Amino acid sequence: MSRPLPHWLEGLANASRARGPYRVSEAARALHRRLTVIDLHADPLMWSRDLLVRNHYGHVDVPRLIEGGVTLQVFSTVTHSPLGINIRRNRTDAPDMLTALAMICGWPRAAWTSKLERALFQARALELAVKGSGGRMAQVRTRDDLRALVAKPRPGATAALLSIEGGQCFEGRLESIDVLFAAGVRMVGLTHFVDNDLGGSASGEEKGGLTDFGRAALARLEDRRIIVDLAHASPLLFDDVIDACRRPLVVSHTGACSACPNERNLTDAQLKKIAAKGGVVGVGYWKTATGGEDAAAIARSILAVVKAAGVGHAALGSDFDGAVAAPFDASGVPLVTQALLAAGMSEDDIALVMGGNALRLLSEGLP
Ligand SMILES: [Zn+2]
C-alpha cells in the first residue's frame, strides 16, 4: 500500500485560493444540477491521497466531486516530472522528480524505475477507489458505460475515466498501449513536460514533431479507440498529429493565447484546427491557462476558445491536483456555471461547455 505525502507538503503543490462551501446563486445551482458536467483532466492519482474521504487539502476526492455535481472526471496518470519544471523549456535529462515521489509514497519497487509500472500502479489505485466507493464512483471504459451513466443520473455519485500524461510510459514498445488499454486507459496525452520518443513537448528542449515511433503509436491508439490528447504538444507535434490522425482529438487541459499568451496555450489557428477535426478543448483553471485567479478568468478563457473554435468545441480541463494552484476545489465547479451565466452565455451553450461537448466526443470516441 502506498501512503500520501505529508498534508502540508501536498497542500503547497495543490493549493486552493478559497475553500468551500462556496457561495453560488440559486439560479446557477439550479442550472448546474441539470447539467452533465465533465472535466477532462485532473491528477489526484499521483499523490496517493485517499480519494474516498473528504480531504481538507488538494482539489479532488469522491465527496468533493459529488458535491461539485461532476458527472465524469478524467483521472490522469503522471509518470515523469523534470526537476525545475517550467512551461518554457525543460531538459530531457533533468532528474525525474517522480522517482522521489514514488519512493517517498511507498509505491511498489518496480514503479521506482519503470514509467509503465508507474502508470499501471496509478491505474490500480483508481480501480481500488472505484471498488471501495460503495457505488459512489463508477469507471467508464466503453460508450455503453457512458450511455448508462447519463441515462440514469445519480446525484449521489460520480464517475471516472482513466488517461495518461505522456507516452514516455510506453517505454518504446507499442505493446505497452495494449497493456494500458487493458488497465482501463482510454485517453493518452502524447507528451508531457519533456520531449519523448513520440515527439516534442511544448515545454521541451527541441520541441520537434512526430517521430516514426510516435506515428506508429498514434495509429495503434486510434485502432484501439483510445482518445488522443494534444495537451503539452509542441507546435510541430500538434500539426503532425492533426495531419496524421483519423479520429477527433482532445486538448484536455490548456488555455487560449488570445486570453493569456504563453507556450502552453493554444493559438486561434490551433483552436480552429482542433474544431475542424471535430475535437474538444478543455480549458484549465490555473493562472497561466486563464491569465487570472478566479472563476471569471476561467469564463473569459472559455469564451476565447468559443470565439475561435465555436461553442461546440469548448470544455472543462481543470488540471486539479496537477501541482497547480486553483481558485477553488472540485466542490466549487458550480462557480464556473455561475461565471458563464454572469458572462452572458445562454443556458444551452453553458450545457455544451460544461459537459455536452465532451460527452459527444467520448460517445463517438470510446470503444
Ligand atoms: Zn498536464
pLDDT tens digit string along 170-191? 999 999 999 999 999 999 999 9
Taking Cα atoms as reference points, which of 259, 210, 253 lies closest to residue 232?
253
**190 Cα to the center of ligand 1, angstroms:** 11
Number of domains within the chain = 1
Q: How far is the CA of 151 from the centre of ligand 1 (A)?
A: 31
Task: Note whether 76 and 41 are within 8 A (CB).
Answer: yes
SS3 content of the chain, % helix, strand, coil (to 5): 45, 15, 40
Average pLDDT for residues 220-246, to the nearest whole number?
98
In a domain, 2, yes or no: no
Reported as a pLDDT band with limits 50, 70 and 90, residue 18 is confident
- Distance, in Å, from the CA atom of 359 to the CA atom of 361, rounded to the nearest integer, reads 5
* Average pLDDT value over all residues in the chain: 96
Residue 1 inside a domain? The answer is no
pLDDT of 8: 86
* Ligand 1 geometric centre to CA of 165 (Å): 7
Phi then psi for residue 245, to 5 deg, are -75, 155
CA contacts within 13 A on the Cβ side of 295? 19
The CATH number of whichever domain residue 331 belongs to comes to 3.20.20.140
**Cα(136) to centroid of ligand 1, in Å?**
26
Q: Is residue 272's pLDDT more than 80?
A: yes
- CA of 228 from ligand 1 middle (Å) equals 14
Could you list the residue range(s) of the whole structural domain that residue 156 is in?
Answer: 7-365
Q: What's the gap in Å between 73 CA and the centre of ligand 1?
A: 15
**At residue 295, does pLDDT exceed 90?**
yes
pLDDT, tens digit, 9 for 90 and up, residues 123-142: 999 999 999 999 999 999 99
306-337 pLDDT tens trace = 999 999 999 999 999 999 999 999 999 999 99
Cell representation of residue 176 = 505497452
- The count of other CB atoms within 10 Å of the CB of residue 285 is 32
Q: Are 354 and 316 in contact (CB under 8 A)?
A: yes
DSSP state, residue 10? H
**How does residue 154 score in pLDDT terms, banded at 50, 70 and 90?**
confident
Q: How far is the CA of 46 from the centre of ligand 1 (A)?
A: 12
CA distances from 125 to 3, 25, 203, 349 (A): 12, 36, 28, 35
pLDDT for 188 equals 98
- pTM of the predicted protein model: 0.98
Query: Cα–chain-centroid distance for residue 31?
Result: 24
Q: Is residue 45 part of a domain?
A: yes
> Domain for residue 29, yes or no?
yes
Q: Which three cell numbers stand for residue 29?
A: 445551482
In a domain, 43, yes or no: yes
CA of 364 from ligand 1 middle (Å) equals 24
Q: What pLDDT is recorded for position 355? A: 98
Given a cut of 90, is residue 1 above it in pLDDT?
no
Query: Ligand 1 centre from 266 Cα, in Å?
Result: 14
Task: Report how far ligand 1's centroid is from the alpha carbon of 21 (Å).
Answer: 27
